[in-house]
Structure 1
Amino acid sequence: MFHNVQAVLFDLDGTLIDSAPDLGAAADKMRTDRGMSSLPLDVYRPMAGAGARGMLAKAFAMTPEHPDFPAMREEFFVNYERRMTQLTSIFEEIEPMLLALQRAHLTWGIVTNKSKRFTEPLVSSMVPLSTAAVVISGDTTPFSKPHPEPLLEAARRLNVEPRYCVYVGDDERDIIAGLAAGMTTVAASYGYLGAKADTQAWGAHASINSPSELLQWIGLA
C-alpha cells in the first residue's frame, strides 16, 4: 500500500500541532467567566481533536443536542480565536519529517475539520506548515470528515490520484475518511487519543507512535 506514494496528507490538531493548551484555555475561560472552578489541561487534552464539541463536553458536560450549544460554541470560538497561537506548538519531529518529504520531492498537505477561520491564521503563523501544497479546512467543501470529500478535494487540487496518497490522522474519523477516499491510511497514536484508543480497530494500514516513523513506512528512513 505504500508503493508509488506521490503525496502525504495530514490532519492538523493532534497530528501536526499540539493545540490542546489553547483549546482547553478557551473552554476553561468560559467556566471561570461563570464563576466555576478551573479545570486542568489534562481534562481537556484527550478531547482536543474534537474541537468545540469536545471542549464543551469536558467543560460543561454539554452535547450538541443542548439548546444552548450553538451560542456556547460561538463563545468558545471567539475565545479561541483571540488566543489560538499563544500556546500551540508543532509536535516534536514534525519539522524534520516534513523536510524529509520535501527532499524526496513528495508533495504534502493538510486536511482538517477546523474551520478556515482558524486554519489559515494557524498555518501561516508556523513556518514549517506554511509550505503545505494544499490546505483543506472543514468548510472548504460542503462536507467534513469522516466524509471522504475533503480528502478527494485535496487530491484533485494536487492532481494526484487518491490511491497514490497517504493520509495521517489521530482520530478514527480520519481513518474512515481516508479509507473511503481510497487512500493509504496511517493512525497517529501519538495524538490526543493515544493509548486510550484502540487504533488497530480503526482499520488503518499502519500505526505510528511518532512522526518520524512515517518515514520508515514510505521508505525514506
Structure 2
Amino acid sequence: MFKDTDAVLFDLDGTLIDSAPDLGAAADKMRTDRGLESLPASEYRPMAGAGARGMIAVAFGLTVEDIGFEALKEEFFSNYEVRLVDQTYVFEGVAELISRICQGGLKWGIVTNKSARFTTPLTRAIPLFKTAQTIISGDTMPHAKPHPAPLLEAARQLQVPPNRCIYVGDDERDIVAGRAAGMVTVAAAYGYLGQVANTAVWKADFTISQPAELLKLLKMA
C-alpha cells in the first residue's frame, strides 16, 4: 500500500513501548509521600503520553498554570529518572515489526515529545532501539509536536523526503504533526490515546489496532 515509502517514524510512549506503569508509579509516589491514598494504575494510563503534565494532572488535579506545578514537575522527573525501565516494556509485535522494516530496506526512527534526559538512557537500555537511525526528543528542536519541526528534522537526518515517510503515533498531536509535515499518518489505536480517545476524529490516513497491522499496510505481512 505504501509503495512510495522509504522510512517509518514512530512516536515512543504508547506506540512502541508501554511506559505507563513507570510513569504512573513515579507520580503515585508523590501522592503516597504526602500521605495521600494511592491511585490505581488505570487512572494514570490514559494520560501517560502527556508525560509530567498528564501525570500531575491525574495525581493532583493541577495544570501547568497552577502555582506549584513546576516544583511538582521536577519531583516527578526525579522519581521517573530512577525507574525508567523498571516496568516499561516493548509492546507485543513491535520487535517483529521493526525487524521486518529493517529487512525490507526501510529506514526507521523515533520522534517523541519525551525530553532527551529520559529518551537517551531509556532507548540505550532497550536493545530494540539500537537499529533506530534517528531519535528526535521533545527538546531536540525549538518546537515539539504537534509542530511538524521534529518530524521534518527526523526526515532530514534520514535523508528522506517527508512525503516518503510514514509517521505512527497514539495521540492526536502525532497525527496533526504528521499531516503538517506532509507525511502519511497512522493512528496507533492500541496506545494511550490521550484526551481525544476517538481516533476517528484525528483524520489519520490509516488506523491500526495492533503493531503487526502496520506490516499489512507496508505489504510486508
When the two structures are superposed, what TM-score results if normalisation uses the length of structure 1? 0.98
Unaligned 5+ residue runs, structure 1?
none
1:83 aligns to what SS in structure 2? Answer: coil
Does 2:61 match 1:51?
Answer: no
Partner of 2:30: 30
Matches within 5 A, 1:71-150: 71-150=71-150
Quick one: distance in 1 between partners of 2:129 and 2:40? 28
Quick one: distance in 2 between partners of 1:134 and 1:143? 17
1:16 Cα deviation after fit: 0.3
125-134 or 6-15: which moved more?
125-134
1:40 Cα deviation after fit: 0.9
For the 8 Å contact 2:172–2:193, the answer to whether it is kept is no
CA RMSD of superposed structures (Å): 1.1
User: Residues 67-111 of structure 1, C-alpha deviation per residue, up to 9 Å, x if partnerless?
Assistant: 111111010000000111100000000000000001101100000
2:124 aligns to what SS in structure 1? Answer: helix
1:2 Cα deviation after fit: 2.3
Does 2:62 match 1:62?
Answer: yes
1:129 Cα deviation after fit: 1.5
1:219 Cα deviation after fit: 1.3
User: Residues 4-62 of structure 1, C-alpha deviation per residue, up to 9 Å, x if partnerless?
Assistant: 10000000000000000000000000000000011110010010000001000100001
Quick one: distance in 1 between partners of 2:217 and 2:200? 16
1:3 aligns to what SS in structure 2? Answer: coil
Partner of 2:160: 160
1:193 Cα deviation after fit: 2.3
1:63 Cα deviation after fit: 0.6
1:3 Cα deviation after fit: 2.6
Unaligned 5+ residue runs, structure 2?
none
185-194 or 198-207: which moved more?
185-194
For the 8 Å contact 2:27–2:55, the answer to whether it is kept is yes
What is the number of residues matched between the two proteins?
220
1:168 aligns to what SS in structure 2? Answer: strand
Quick one: distance in 2 between partners of 1:12 and 1:116? 12
- Which amino acid in structure 2 is aligned with residue 15 of structure 1? T
Partner of 1:201: 201
Partner of 2:217: 217
Quick one: distance in 2 between partners of 1:200 and 1:215? 21
Quick one: distance in 1 between partners of 2:128 and 2:72? 33
For the 8 Å contact 2:9–2:167, the answer to whether it is kept is yes
Quick one: distance in 1 between partners of 2:27 and 2:19? 13
1:12 aligns to what SS in structure 2? Answer: coil
1:131 Cα deviation after fit: 1.2
- Which amino acid in structure 2 is aligned with residue 53 of structure 1? R
Quick one: distance in 2 between partners of 1:145 and 1:67? 25
Quick one: distance in 2 between partners of 1:202 and 1:2? 20
Identity %: 61
* Runs ≥4 residues deviating over 6 A: none
Quick one: distance in 2 between partners of 1:122 and 1:105? 25
- Which amino acid in structure 2 is aligned with residue 190 of structure 1? Y
